[in-house]
């Protein structure tokens, strides 16, 4: 059916009507006084969302651009860095770090398993002459639905004393608690098409005072992504280059919605959506790809043994207008992923789970019809 699309992928995520309407107007000059007020409001509300007094900078990039800025501004070619790699995005940061000449040591885990914080502790404690300049971690590994234990890994980084921690919070910010100041996270990157509930096009980087100190000696070449340009402009309620003005109108509206809901409620909602989805998948007899202990609040990956993941996605899309994500790289065709990030409600999960059950019936697997919806309903009744 036309215009009935339901996005249950981990980004772009659904956009509220209030946000769409906020964007549907003529842009104004980005050097005008009126737009300065918009930037001032956004900066204040972004600090609220990031739970920080650090700088939170807006860049016209996707999440990858935010992470690139977060890496190249604070390091030097040849610097030793530890990169956690247990999925597509950890792998991307390892490749990116190598591309910029960093001496990368990867701490790996099988896709679907969380990174072991002990492996970080050992490396960091063994680094007596403080050669490790940064630890780069993907908090919520979207490719597998795994949440890495950022809090514990960060404690080991703090005990090391010299290394920065650079975090990909692309699918954890706005879904999971990422208390930047309380944990002392140095650099945190994210992107607009995720928990922010707006379309793609804006990247965000928060930068600590410690990271700014490292910036002073960092020599990796940069120009458009030179974060000092963004800091200077942001301090003057301006932007170094032409920003996506209309997207920022949308961000104004979405941040207001988020403030009205409250951070605790947002995190609780994402947890509830995750538990309902996981409970339903288990009740339907489908294997979950990540364990309960390491489940991302943004996305649930399912390995549908005996039923082809791509067939499920195809029926869900064609018959029910629900878009699910597929597996990436070697997991292509082996898993499907259901996003529950951003503007997603209990009702959306009930609709998606019942459509999934109907899809399995259509594909000849109807052993547990109704069990998934019942399990999700039980979670919603109790929380
Ligand atoms: C955890 C994570 N990091 C980074 C990215 C890359 O973001 P983008 O595609 O916006 O560059 C994504 C995108 O899905 C992601 O989920």
Matching CATH number, 262-382, of 3.40.1260.10, 3.30.70.270, 3.90.1150.10, 3.20.20.10? 3.90.1150.10
Is any ligand 1 atom within 6 A of the Cβ of residue 12? no
From the CA of 170, how far away is ligand 1's center (Å)? 6
Domain chopping of the chain, boundaries: 17-260, 262-382
Q: Is 228 exposed, middle or buried (0-12, 13-18, 19+ CB in 10 A)?
A: middle
Distance (Å, rounded) from C-alpha 320 to C-alpha 156? 46
Ligand 1 atom nearest to 191, measured from its CA:
10
Q: Which two tokens stand for residue 153?
A: 């890994």
How many angstroms separate the alpha carbon of residue 99 from the centre of ligand 1? Answer: 18
Q: How many CA atoms lie within 13 A of 85 on its CB side?
A: 16
How far does residue 91's CA lie from ligand 1's centre (Å)? Answer: 12
203 lines ligand 1 (CB under 6 A): no
Which atom of ligand 1 is found nearest the CA of 141? 1
Residue 296 Cβ < 6 Å to ligand 1? no
Domain covering 17-260, topology: 3.40.640
Protein residue whose Cα sits closest to atom 16 of ligand 1: 142
pLDDT tens string, the chain, 383 residues long: the values are 889 999 999 999 999 999 999 999 999 999 999 999 999 999 999 999 999 999 999 999 999 999 999 999 999 999 999 999 999 999 999 999 999 999 999 999 999 999 999 999 999 999 999 999 999 999 999 999 999 999 999 999 999 999 999 999 999 999 999 999 999 999 999 999 999 999 999 999 999 999 999 999 999 999 999 999 999 999 999 999 999 999 999 999 999 999 999 999 999 999 999 999 999 999 999 999 999 999 999 999 999 888 899 999 999 999 999 999 999 999 999 999 999 999 999 999 999 999 999 999 999 987 679 999 999 999 999 98
Contact partners, residue 150, CB within 8 Å, separation at least 6: 137, 139, 167, 172, 178, 183, 185
pTM score of the predicted model: 0.98
The response to whether residue 190 sits with its C-beta less than 6 Å from ligand 1 reads no
Q: Three-state SS string across 234-297, please?
A: HHCCCCCCCCCHHHHHHHHHHHHHHHHHCHHHHHHHHHHHHHHHHHHHHHCCCCECCCHHHECC
Q: Quick one: which atom of ligand 1 is closest to the CA of 203?
A: 10
Q: Is 230 in the pocket of ligand 1 (CB under 6 A)?
A: no
């Amino acid at each position: 059916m036309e215009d009935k699309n339901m996005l249950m992928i981990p980004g772009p995520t659904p956009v509220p009507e209030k946000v769409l309407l906020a964007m549907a107007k003529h842009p104004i000059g980005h050097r005008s006084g009126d737009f300065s007020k918009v930037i001032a409001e956004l900066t204040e509300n972004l600090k609220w969302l990031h739970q920080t007094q650090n700088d939170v900078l807006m860049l016209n990039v996707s999440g990858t651009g935010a992470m690139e800025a977060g890496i190249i501004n604070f390091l030097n070619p040849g610097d030793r860095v530890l990169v956690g790699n247990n999925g597509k995005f950890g792998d991307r940061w390892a490749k990116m770090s190598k591309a910029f000449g960093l001496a990368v040591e990867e701490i790996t885990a099988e896709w679907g398993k969380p990174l072991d914080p002990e492996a970080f502790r050992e490396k960091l404690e063994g680094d007596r002459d403080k050669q490790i300049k940064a630890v780069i971690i993907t908090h919520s590994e979207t490719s597998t639905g795994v949440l890495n234990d950022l809090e514990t890994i960060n404690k080991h980084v703090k005990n090391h004393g010299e290394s920065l921690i650079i975090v990909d919070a692309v699918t954890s910010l706005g879904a999971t608690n990422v208390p930047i100041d309380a944990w002392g996270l140095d650099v945190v990157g994210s992107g607009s098409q995720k928990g922010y509930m707006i379309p793609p096009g804006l990247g965000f980087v928060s930068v600590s005072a410690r990271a700014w100190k490292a910036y002073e000696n960092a020599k990796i070449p940069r120009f458009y992504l030179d974060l000092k340009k963004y800091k200077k402009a942001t301090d003057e309620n301006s932007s170094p280059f032409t920003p996506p003005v209309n997207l920022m109108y949308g961000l104004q509206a979405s941040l207001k919605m988020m403030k009205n809901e409250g951070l605790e409620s947002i995190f609780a909602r994402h947890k509830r959506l995750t538990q309902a989805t996981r409970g339903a998948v288990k009740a339907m007899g489908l294997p979950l790809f990540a364990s309960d202990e390491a489940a991302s609040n943004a996305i649930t990956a399912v390995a549908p043994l005996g039923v082809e993941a791509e067939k499920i996605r195809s029926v869900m899309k064609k018959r029910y207008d629900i878009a699910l994500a597929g597996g990436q790289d070697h997991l292509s065709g082996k898993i499907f992923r259901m996003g529950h990030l951003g503007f997603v409600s209990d009702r959306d999960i009930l609709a998606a789970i019942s459509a999934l059950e109907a899809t399995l019936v259509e594909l000849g697997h109807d052993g547990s019809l109704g069990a998934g919806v019942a399990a999700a309903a039980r979670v919603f009744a109790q929380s």
